[in-house]
Structure formats: C-alpha cells, structure tokens
Amino acid sequence: MRLSRRKLKAFQANRLRRERARLNRAIRNTESARSRQVDELKTNPTEFFRQILGFEPTAYEKQLIEFFGENQFIAARWCRQSGKSWTVSALLLNYALTHPDCYIAVVGPSWRQTKLNIRRISYFLRRLPPNTYLKPQRTRLSFPNGAVIEAFPNNPETIRGPTLNVVWWDETNFTSNDTDLYDSILFTLGTTDGKLICTSTPWNTDSLFWKMCNHKDYSDFARHHVTWEQAQEPNGPLKKNILDKIRKQFGEDPARWRREMEAEWAEDQNTWLPQSLIVSCIGTVKNCREDLQPWDSDRDYSGNLFCGLDLAQVKDYCVFSILDRVNDVLFLRHLKIWSQPAKYANVLGYIKTLQDRWEGFQKIRVDFTKEGPSIIQDMENAGIKNAEGVHFSVNRKSEMASLLKQRMLNEKLFYPHMVWEKPYRSDLCSELNVERYELRKDGTIMLNHPSGTFDDVFWSLALGVYATVEMKALDLEAFKLG
C-alpha cells in the first residue's frame, strides 16, 4: 500500500511537470505570435490602435494620426473629454516601437501633469507582449530597441539638455513661461529635425498656443480643431447625458462652455482674475524656483502654514486650502474638497489630523457667515487651534478678493497645476476664473459667480491668503480696476 502511494505521488509529480511545460510552451507561442502581430501592424498606426491597443480610432483621431505622420509641428485644439491625451499617448508608443533609439519627451504645466501622461502610456503596455518593453518607471519608459519616453518638468533648462526626436507638450495654453519653454524645445529639436505636438483646450489669448493656432507667423503648425459636436457618440466618447449636464452647469457661463466644449477662446470681461494672471501663477522652477506639487495628506511636512476653510454642506462644497509662507511668498500646498453633503465632524477630523501631522497651523480663517461663532467653538473643542471666523459682508469679500489679486499681481502667490475628477470635474485655473465683479455707484465691489458654477475653491484660497494678514480694512485704492 505504501509503495502504491509513492508510485501515485511520482506519477502526479511527473504529470504536473509535463503540464507546466505544456503551458509554458503555449505561453511562449502566444507571446511569439503576438510579437509578430505587433511587428506587422506597428507601421500602420490605425490598425495598431485597433488590433493591438484595443480601441477603434474615431474620424478625428485618424486625422490626427495623419497630421502626426505628415507634419513636424502640430497644434491640436480639442474640447474636454474628447480623448486627446489617450490618442497622443498611443501615438507616442507607436512611434517608440517604430523608431529605434529615439528620445521622446513629455512636458506640460507641471511635472505632476507629465507623470500622469507617462502613466497613460504605461496603460497601453499591458496590451503588448512583455518582450517589447522594459520594466516601466514612474517618469521613464524604455524599450529593447533603445527608444525612450520620459517625463520632464516645466523647466526650460532641463529640456535644453537632451537631444530629442519628439516632444509632446500637453496643456500648452496652461503653461506658464511658455515662450521660454518653446525656445528650449526648438533648440533641442534642432539637431534631429524632430516633431513637436502641442495639445490643449483654449485658455488665454495672450499666449503662445493662441499664436500656434491663429497667427500667420506660426503657419508651419498643422492645426487640428475638435469640438463637442465631433466628439459626441457615436463618433466620439462624449455621451449625450453628460453633455446635457455640462451644458446645464455652464448655462450662465457661456464663455466656459465655449472654451471647454467648443475649444474656442473666450473670456468674460467681468472676471475678477484674468486668465493670463491665473496661468502666470502656476508654480514652476522658472517663476518660483520650485515645480509645485500638492502635498500628500498621508505624508509628513512642516512649514509656516496658513489655511482657509470655506464651509458648505449641501448646495455648495466645503473646501480647505493650506498655504506655506516662505520668505514672504505664498505657496498653495494642499487643497481638499469634500463631497456633498459634507459632514462637519469629518471636516474637523481631517483638519485636526493634518494640524498634528504637519506641526500646526499659524492661523485658519473660516467663513462662518451661515454657521456663526459656534463652528469656531466646535473647532476648538476638536483640538484645532488658531481658528478665526470671517463674516462674508460685501466689504469683507472685496477686501479678501483684492488681497488675493494683489498677491498674484506682485508674484507673491503660486500654486500647482491641479485637475480633479471628484467630487466634480474641474481644475484650479477654471475655479479661480469663475468669480465675476460689478463696480457699484458707491464704489463698492460686488462679487458673484454664474449659476451652476462653484466659487468655494476661490474663497477658500482667498481665506488662506487673508489668514496671513491682520483682519482690518485694506486701502482698496491700491486695487483700482481698469
């Protein structure tokens, strides 16, 4: 009986070894077949996208493929959610596989933005056989043929160093010091006669991207324009119900609909913070000696921190901003937006956690217009220190908004390029551009925002800046309009 069991065990082990060998051969054969398919299709980007990467290119994506193949300079002006980052990511991967030893750079308003695009390209690697790429890194993708795709920060000096074959400049219209960066890109492409593809939704007209898309001096750019009408189903990814929601949200802000969904330049003349001013304050190595990145709430930091808390529960959003004062310059380090309905117990718990983790806050200015002084008492009971309430009167709001604008004009406030999907889809630049003003006959400034939009981020940041000064009336003559 014992002998039989040993024979049975030996039989099972041999059988398992044979089965494993069979499976390994099947895997190798599958990978080999997949590699041959990649080699056959990579010279045809449309079929490569369809059969290898697993998506059917739209008509406007096919046109961009043609533009990329036929032109050295491309300016792609697409509406939001039309798939521009997805498409260009696939294009660069295809280019890397078909051009041995090429060096491809990804740049944008911030290094964080470019690293996100590297992640998008990495997503497509899952569709390729393992022998066609090396182990992905957070900022760099390498291939056995010597090709490299790498993320770079928004720093003209860093871009100027390497010799590049292709540069993808994402969100071009939201990039501060765009002229300096463009000069460096041209310098590094000069020896390879390489390609530059610029992608963005429109923002300010006094920008390089506007010139790329409109000015005669940039007629060597192939210009590609995609609106919501071209990108809606079944011809694109935009769903009708989502479009209806966006149209309703932007109902009283036609300029934003025109920018984001029609991909045309537009700005309300009564906007408190002009678009060009907003984009100039996106922190980079060039303008503030630091490529600003938001602080992670789970990590330890320290600084001279001031905060703004704009409270809301149901109709609006509760937003908490943290600024770091370094040599009289303010840096936005953290921005938290709570989903509706916001529970104040959760809000106070979050603030208390960061206070303890980040070695305390110098001051927290809180909008207590609705809640009254009791919210300050609740914060003190929760162990939150240095909280101070602000009543949002007409004069106090104009005082805070004027201080915010002054700091930006004087290059004393910088923030990261921030985009978020939850609790609602938006970005910091658009949120700062939402506030409108009206100058009354008595000289007071009335501030408001279009229906369907939110100004909670604007006021949270304004409160944070206001926390750095004593709460007293400012000389508003210093902020004359015109």
Angle at CA of residue 367, ends 361 and 372, nearest 5°? 110
What is the C-alpha radius of gyration for the chain, rounded to an integer number of angstroms? 27
Confidence grade of residue 348 (pLDDT, cut at 50, 70, 90): very high
Distance CA 457, CA 452 (A): 14
Distance CA 383, CA 398 (A): 31
pLDDT tens for each residue of 110-165: 988 899 999 999 999 999 998 899 999 999 999 999 999 999 999 998 998 899 99
**Contact assessment for residue 287 and residue 416, using Cβ atoms and an 8 Å cutoff:** no
What's the longest Cα–Cα distance across the chain?
A: 106
For the chain, the domains span: 1-41, 57-260, 275-479
Amino acid at 97: L
User: How many CB atoms sit inside 10 A of residue 22's CB?
Assistant: 10
**Contact assessment for residue 204 and residue 280, using Cβ atoms and an 8 Å cutoff:** no
Place of tokens 């304050």: 281
| The pLDDT of residue 480 | 37
Question: Could you report how far apart the first and last alpha carbons of the chain are, in Å?
Answer: 101
Architecture of the CATH domain 57-260: 3-Layer(aba) Sandwich (3.40)
Q: Write the CB contacts of 9 (distance below 8 Å, at least 6 apart in sequence).
A: none
pLDDT tens for each residue of 284-330: 998 998 899 999 999 999 999 999 999 987 789 999 999 999 999 99
pTM: 0.86
Paired residues of 329 in beta bridges: 326
| The pLDDT of residue 439 | 86
**Contact assessment for residue 436 and residue 269, using Cβ atoms and an 8 Å cutoff:** no
SS3 content of the chain, % helix, strand, coil (to 5): 45, 20, 40
Q: Which helix (H) or strand (E) holds 230?
A: helix 228-231
Architecture of the CATH domain 275-479: 2-Layer Sandwich (3.30)
Confidence grade of residue 248 (pLDDT, cut at 50, 70, 90): confident
Q: Write the CB contacts of 298 (distance below 8 Å, at least 6 apart in sequence).
A: none
Q: Which helix (H) or strand (E) holds 104?
A: strand 103-107
What are the DSSP E strand ranges found in 220-345?
A: 221-226, 305-310, 319-326, 329-337
Flag whether pLDDT at 477 surpasses 70: no
**61 or 18, greater pLDDT:** 61
